[in-house]
Amino acid sequence: MSNLRKNRILTLSAAGVAAVAAITGAAFALAARADSGAPERAVAVLAPTQGQKVHGQVVFERKGSGVEVVAEVEGLAPGTHGFHVHEVGDCSAPDASSAKGHLNPTNEPHGARDAAKRHEGDLGNIEADASGKAQAKLVDTKLSLDGAQSIVGKAVIVHEKADDFTTQPTGNAGGRVACGVVKVEAKGR
Ligand code: CU
Ligand code: ZN
């Protein structure tokens, strides 16, 4: 074998090793991301506050740069109901006042979900039909499932009345009819 050919084979081998190393590195990076504790999915199971019969579930799932929110709620009065993430994951008070105010880590005013400035927890309203059932599906780009602004461990609240998107800092949505803490789902593995 000529020296030239030998060198070429060595060069190709080196390139091959580098490629394998790069792929392995990427695989490790992916595995590290999966195990970094950044959740892909979290769920809040909504239970009624005192005197109410509102039940439901809200699933939060990472979708691209946003979080998909899928809510299914029943037992509501027909009509429009404020729907927020509140800052304390504590639904223990009979009126869920223990969940405190809207989640607002960036200190913004209260607003509609599509407002330029709003609380992170401002998810607008849900609409209950004549049978008291409400369903909502949306992707929100302000919600976060990890880091300093994570909604995990916070509380989802459904209100008695509509959020007017104007009244500060609550939206004047009245009492709290259901509450549930946002929890990361156990991984199926
Ligand atoms: Cu609220
Ligand atoms: Zn708010």
Nearest listed ligand to the Cα of residue 159? 1
| 162 vs 21, higher pLDDT | 162
Report the 3 state secondary structure along 50-100.
Answer: CCCCCEEEEEEEEECCEEEEEEEEECCCCEEEEEEEECCCCCCCCCCHHHC
* Site of tokens 């809207």: 102
**pTM (whole model) above 0.85:** no
Judged by its nearest atom, the ligand closest to the C-alpha of residue 81 is: 1
The Cα 97–Cα 157 span in angstroms is 10
- Beta strands 155-159; 134-140: pairing state: unpaired
Per the CB < 8 A criterion, the answer to whether 79 and 162 are in contact is: yes
How many A from CA of 140 to the centre of ligand 2? 15
CATH number for the segment(s) 41-184: 2.60.40.200
- C-alpha of residue 10 to centroid of ligand 2, in Å: 64
Distance 96 CA to ligand 1 centre (A): 10
Q: How far is the CA of 101 from the centre of ligand 2 (A)?
A: 8
Q: What is the pLDDT of residues 58-78, one digit of tens each?
A: 999 999 889 999 999 999 999
11-35 pLDDT, tens digit per residue, is: 545 554 455 455 444 444 444 444 5
Q: Per-residue confidence at 185, pLDDT binned at 50, 70, 90?
A: confident
Distance 105 CA to ligand 2 centre (A): 11
Please report which ligand is nearest the Cα atom of 100. Answer: 1
Ligand 1 center–CA 65 separation, angstroms: 24
C-alpha of residue 90 to centroid of ligand 1, in Å: 13
Residue 181 tokens, joined: 């803490």
Residue 17 Cα to ligand 2 middle (Å): 54
